[in-house]
Structure 1
């Protein structure tokens, strides 16, 4: 009897030890990672004559500026891994959009397309003045819609390229009727940051790359002192009034932008009729990235960075403009636009 109890007790202790080790391993696997070393620094950009202060991450010191706009609910850290891979050849700037990350504005709930477009123009103007270097706008999801509308304004004389990540009008408009249900079904409360990261890659979130999630997800959370848990920093469900304005007529606006354009998709089923015709006519470059989720820049950073650098080289985009072999000075983008 004594031997039997000892054996049972030893088995229980071994099982408990295994559980503890698994929990520690899981906690370590999903623990947050710093963005330092990928981005070089971050800054707060105060907009004159307003209460708005926008948080930006910066990487690199030479080359054209790749200006990145994240999707709804994400932050500028969504572009961390690609910044680390591209900063030797270009400058990468990733902005926390209004109501996201560490940016603070007089109205964090005004996520209308027009307001966000003006935010982007204000930040670029404050950072670079009236003569910014050559710019390539990159936008993911909501940020893609804003990037398209900024480009269409033709208010950036040095805009040299436009890259849109996994958003097209047809699919986006069709999904709007389901968005509130989708948002309501996601997990809203987390006992720790690690659990939020784990949920983002395993429990129904939109990320597949654990490393990227460990960097980007913590910036999308805040600690609720009343509930004693972590919650999402941005209440996307409260922005419904602006959703249609992000995506309506997006395809035609995209096709009208007078700069080289690249559309990155996770699947060809996302193309609508206008884009299908435009792609057949050669009005933009399209690349489908296989085996990825919605956040292509996070899930496949190596492929994404390679595609981006190839796009820049293919269109001969240098620090000051389009570089043509044989000419000492780049062609002014102002004259091309």
Structure 2
């Protein structure tokens, strides 16, 4: 009898406590403490309201655009590491997170570019502080196209995370299959976080996933399970417009530029030539997945802060020692 009780007790601890431990390992974490606050930004003369996260009170604005299927919380960990020196703003793009627009399915490059310009204008008016645009994947393509418009008078820098035209265009023919093969239904938020880290998702850092993944889900009351909030497979009509011609547009942007890659095989011919000519700075971050800002937040934050310091980007623009007023932000890199 004693042996039987011991065996039952052992089974209980291994099965029940082990499952509970696994669940707690992937339980959601709050974004508070990384970002300082969030708010809704209403766009005048429209029904569009964009949700943004904010951190920091001083320095230039690091304005972050997430990739397709992600949200502004993709930048939570880096916000906490950078907010003592810069202000970090991360918006939920159209059709993502808590943002609500008149047409959440219109993810065209032109519409998303206008969304970014509208949010910056609504937040800062006609005299915004110096802005460094950061974009990951789809958000990187949008950041490049916003910069190329030269519509932000205080744009001081551009950082693109793991997206180049050649690789992106080549992958489009496989994208629907990739999306169809990912897990679509989860019994709990914890299981979605675990899948994102271990089961085929794009994240490697459990801490970041525990913050960012819950914001990418919604509960399906009919199926009684969690599903992805953004139906990326329905945005196929816009994919080519995000990436086509992106390399040349990136090279033409008249501000200091940084390209962060998770592997050198992602560099296409135009960017290889441009990098050799010194038209932009490139850094390859090893031992990371596609979402560099989530997988390696310490290294990412250090690289971006060094980029800002190297290009002497201050609160109101590019500050050169000895000059009372910042030089024009229209000058080429």
Q: Is the 8 A contact 1:66 1:90 kept in 2?
A: yes
Distance 1:335 1:207, change over 3 A: closer
State the Cα deviation string for residues 19-65 of structure 1 (Å, max 9, x = none). 4334x111110000000010000010000111100000000000000
Distance 1:199 1:328, change over 3 A: same
Distance 2:71 2:37 in 1: 15
Distance 2:53 2:207 in 1: 18
State the Cα deviation string for residues 248-276 of structure 1 (Å, max 9, x = none). 00000000000000000000000110000
Distance 1:65 1:226 in 2: 42
Equivalence for 2:64: 68
Distance 1:155 1:20 in 2: 56
Distance 2:120 2:243 in 1: 23
Q: 1:38 aligns with which of 26, 34, 39?
A: 34
Distance 1:65 1:18, change over 3 A: same
Q: CA deviation at 1:329?
A: 2.9
TM-score where L is the length of structure 1: 0.94
Q: Is the 8 A contact 1:260 1:284 kept in 2?
A: yes
Taking only aligned residues, the RMSD between alpha carbons, in angstroms, comes to 1.8
Q: Is the 8 A contact 2:254 2:330 kept in 1?
A: no
Aligned length: 324
Unaligned 5+ segments in structure 2 are 1-5
Distance 1:299 1:60 in 2: 22
Q: Is the 8 A contact 2:55 2:83 kept in 1?
A: yes
Equivalence for 1:99: 95
State the Cα deviation string for residues 262-295 of structure 1 (Å, max 9, x = none). 0000000001100000000000000000000000
Q: CA deviation at 1:2?
A: 14
Q: CA deviation at 1:330?
A: 2.4
Q: CA deviation at 1:17?
A: 4.4
Distance 1:100 1:319 in 2: 29
Q: CA deviation at 1:189?
A: 0.3
Q: Is the 8 A contact 2:255 2:330 kept in 1?
A: no
Equivalence for 1:53: 49
Q: Is the 8 A contact 1:320 1:332 kept in 2?
A: no
1:214-225 superposed matches below 5 A: 214-225=210-221
Distance 1:116 1:221, change over 3 A: same
Unaligned 5+ segments in structure 1 are 4-15
Q: CA deviation at 1:336?
A: 7.0
TM-score where L is the length of structure 2: 0.95
State which structure, 1 or 2, has the greater radius of gyration over its C-alpha atoms. 1
Matched residue of 1:311: which SS?
Answer: helix
Distance 2:110 2:325 in 1: 35
Matched residue of 1:334: which SS?
Answer: coil
Q: Is the 8 A contact 1:62 1:319 kept in 2?
A: yes
